[in-house]
Each structure stands twice: as structure tokens, then as C-alpha cells.
Structure 1
């Protein structure tokens, strides 16, 4: 359902922008000179260690912290051709390049990552559980804590884009460029957790914020299609991840995404390829 909402938003954005193309100013029509694009792809991710604070705000039964916990992604590629397209870690984005002298653009992007704290780690645990003080190294088993954002560790971001054209063919049917992005937005996870046997799964909710930068090498072919390989680094800060009943978790970490994607362009009527520098 969230994918439908996102696609609807992109559709409204494109419709409004195309309508603006036909607005008249005096006797002259203003023409957009850029191009819209839509992109879909898949990725692998790595994460920095994270210190995670768990607290039950209803009963006070627990208030403890796992220090420097390691986490992994979950690509779910084992049955790629037999599962929905949105099960693996994917990226969906849409945006617009203005094709001005700075060759800037704007993008709205949904990054579906998966974050799983590795089970059975030896970790430093501090705080209290059922009024028992903790300040010790211990193996954190799933019977004590299992914690993941697998549906997922979702980044909804708006980014500023910068395109640097490297080379293009004479007929403008093949273009190689480097694209850079800087943006931020909200964390919309569906957190799945077990805290001392008490299970909670979801719901989807705004649980923090994220900022990120990225770079990509993009190959446009026949003007309307493109392939892209990119790397994106982000800092995610979960301020209010939901646990069982009134339980909450807070943590932050860095992520790196390695993204392979494809997409298509929709040039506007006034679009003209800018020459290489």
C-alpha cells in the first residue's frame, strides 16, 4: 500500500509540472527545458555498529542498552523470480533535472533497506531488567532480545541532484554522466522485535530521520532509458522505534548502499542536451 501512495505522489508531481509547461505568460508560453526520470533498482547494504537503548514506558520492567551491536542486511535474493518485486531490498525514485547551466535536479526517493541485529553476539549490556542491575558482558540470545527493521529500514528522502556530463555521442543517443545527491527525510520502518519473549511487529510509522549523500555513474541510451550504479551513505537516527505495547527503542547508525538500477526519462518539449564541458 505504501508503494501505491508513493507512486500516486510521483504521478501528481509529474502532472502538476507538465501543466505548468502549458501556462501562458503574456503572449508567450513558458516551456520546461528539463526532463523527468523514474528509477527502480536493488542493493546490498552495510551498517556501522550501533548502541541501542530499550525502555518499557508502561511497566518499567526494562530499561537497558546494548553497546556497539552489529547488524546485517537481508537481501532476500534466494527466490528472486518467485517473490514480489518489493520483497528484496529495493529503491524507487522519481525526479526532475532542470537542465539549467548548473545541471541541477530534485528527487523523491523511497529506499527499502533491511536491518537485522545479529543474534548471539557477545555485548556489553547496561541498565536494569525487572529491577536487576546490569553492567556486564553477555551473549544476547533471541530469548532476551531480537531486533530488526526488515519491512523495513525505510528511508523516505528528498534530495538535491547535481549532474556532471562526462561524454556523449554525436547523435546524443548515448550519454555517460556522474550524478551526485544530497538529501534527507524520514525513517518509516516496520520494526519487528522480541523483548524477553514479548513480540511486536509494526506498524509502519515515522520513527526518526535520515540524511545522506551519494554518487552514481549513469549511462543513458537512446535518450529515454538508463542504467546506473551508485553508492549512497546515510546516517539514520531512530528516536522512537516501537516495541511491545509502550516499549520504545532509540539508536543511530551509518549505512552504505551499493545500488544497481534502471529507469526511463521523459524529456519535456523544450529539452535539449547540454554540451559537455
Structure 2
């Protein structure tokens, strides 16, 4: 089955490529990087779905509760992509398991759009790191980890392990500018570069293991931050497109859930970069 789906996707790709090449060869007036030319996008709505890989800067993680107050300096984290399979990436009931992106938007004119969407990135603290730790733990909080800290130490996963594993869930509003690089005379095929800026909130489902106590918390607004994107989009048959982009942002998370009782709190902030690819559709809202 996987082989047949792959062959079908390959065939569709060849058809699109052949149509585009035909447009170019038969188009004496095709335009490359002519910024005075535009395609009619005003009044269109668009939607895309895609998948991402992400990387994160080091960050300080501060956590405090009954009998302890600790800051872990420069913790490292990584994403956790789902291995590719048609079951997880194509089957509708499973497409939200991998690290996905979706967005819906509206063109206010031929070059500018506004949109709303979510980047479902997964953030996993790397286990068993050698870190500088500052703070204290009372014997009542943990007999194993009791003491005063102001030095580097081996932090095993039972002392601290954090992951926003059901998604960092950066939910944002973006303003985007599209610059045409190439437009076929039929305007059914065209290539844009696009850039945007955005701002949003993060709604993670955070798992916290601290001092041998663990809890998988509920979804919760933990903070937010800005983002920016630069990428390219190829539109075919006017209403469909593929885009690939690099996106970067920074999040402040002053309100991370540690437990359901509310007896502890945590905070961190870090930068992130992701790359993604997505398939989309664009249709006129009013004809």
C-alpha cells in the first residue's frame, strides 16, 4: 500500500511539473522577479497543513515548591519527530500525532494576508545532563536530594525531567507579505517568496518529574512570544500550493504547571527555530 501511495504522489508531482513546464515554454510573456506584476489574491481564504522539525536554545529552568527552590542553568532540549509512515502522516485519524503545523488566513490585498494557526512543536529536555544548579532542597521535600546547591552536578531524570510532549502548541496571529518571483501568463502557476511576523501564546501539556515526583499536567496557557518566518511558495492550478519555510521565535513561559494541587510553580524562556513543509488550498471567499 505504501508503495502505491508513493507512486500516486510521484505521478501527481510529474503532472504538476509537466503542466508548469508547458506554461513556461508556451509563455512568451512569463515574468521573473517582476515585482510590478501581481496575481489576484485579495478576498481569498487559505488553509495549509504540514509538518515540522524544530531545535531549541539552552534555557534556565526555575522550579519551586514546598521545601525546595531550584534553578537549573542552560538545560538542553530537543524535538521528537514521529518516524515517517503513511499511517501517521496520511491517515486522517493520526495526522495530529507528528509535529504538525496548520494555518487559516485571509488576503486583505494581493500581497498581504492575516492568519491564525498553531505550530505543534514537541519539546523534550535531554535526560541526565551535567548542569549548574542553584538553590536548596529541604530534607522534608526530598531526603535523596536534600542540600544547598551552587555548583555543577549530574542531574538525572528523577531529579528533573521536563517535556512539553503533547506540543509546545505555539498558537499565533501572523501578518504575511508575498512577493511574486515568477508568474505564468495564465496566472495558474506562480512562485512567491514570503515573510511574516507574528505573536502568540503557548498552550503546552507539560510533564514534570522533580525530586522523584511526577505529574503529566493538563493543557494550560503558560506564556507566549513573537515569531518571524521566511520561505517560498509554489502555487499550481491557482488554488493549490506547496510551501517550505524557516521560522524562528522566542517564548517566555512564566506559568508552567508542575502539579494539579498548585503547590509548586516553574518558569523558563528560550528561543526556537523550525523548518516545515506544507500543502495548502486557496479559494476566493466571494466570486
Regarding TM over 0.5, the answer is: yes
> For the structure 1 residues 183 and 137, does the alpha-carbon distance in structure 2 shift closer, same or farther, using more than 3 Å as the test?
same
Equivalent residue runs for 1:12-161 within 5 Å: 33-56=42-65, 59=66, 61-77=67-83, 79=85, 81-82=87-88, 84-100=94-110, 103-130=111-138, 132-161=147-176
Please give the per-residue CA displacement for 1:84-131, whole angstroms capped at 9, x wherever unaligned: 11111000100011225xx21101011100001101111000011116
Alpha carbons 2:88, 2:95 under 8 Å: kept: no
> For the structure 1 residues 82 and 167, does the alpha-carbon distance in structure 2 shift closer, same or farther, using more than 3 Å as the test?
closer
TM-score, reference length from structure 2: 0.78
Say which is worse superposed, 241-250 or 206-215, in terms of deviation.
Answer: 241-250
Alpha carbons 2:235, 2:241 under 8 Å: kept: yes
Local SS of the residue matching 1:252: strand
Alpha carbons 2:88, 2:98 under 8 Å: kept: no
The residue aligned with 2:257 is 242
Please give the per-residue CA displacement for 1:32-62, whole angstroms capped at 9, x wherever unaligned: 9421100100010010000110111xx2x21
For 2:182 and 2:126, the matched residues in 1 are separated by: 44
More strand, by proportion: 1
How many residue pairs get matched?
Answer: 234
For 2:135 and 2:236, the matched residues in 1 are separated by: 57
For 2:84 and 2:185, the matched residues in 1 are separated by: 43
Local SS of the residue matching 2:224: strand
The residue aligned with 2:277 is 260
For 2:95 and 2:223, the matched residues in 1 are separated by: 26
Alpha carbons 2:105, 2:113 under 8 Å: kept: yes
> For the structure 1 residues 82 and 155, does the alpha-carbon distance in structure 2 shift closer, same or farther, using more than 3 Å as the test?
closer
The residue aligned with 1:204 is 219
Local SS of the residue matching 1:194: strand
For 1:171 and 1:79, the matched residues in 2 are separated by: 37
Alpha carbons 1:33, 1:269 under 8 Å: kept: no
For 1:79 and 1:34, the matched residues in 2 are separated by: 37
User: How far apart are 1:82 and its partner, in Å?
Assistant: 4.5
The residue aligned with 1:274 is none
Local SS of the residue matching 1:167: strand
Is the radius of gyration larger for structure 1 or structure 2?
Answer: 2
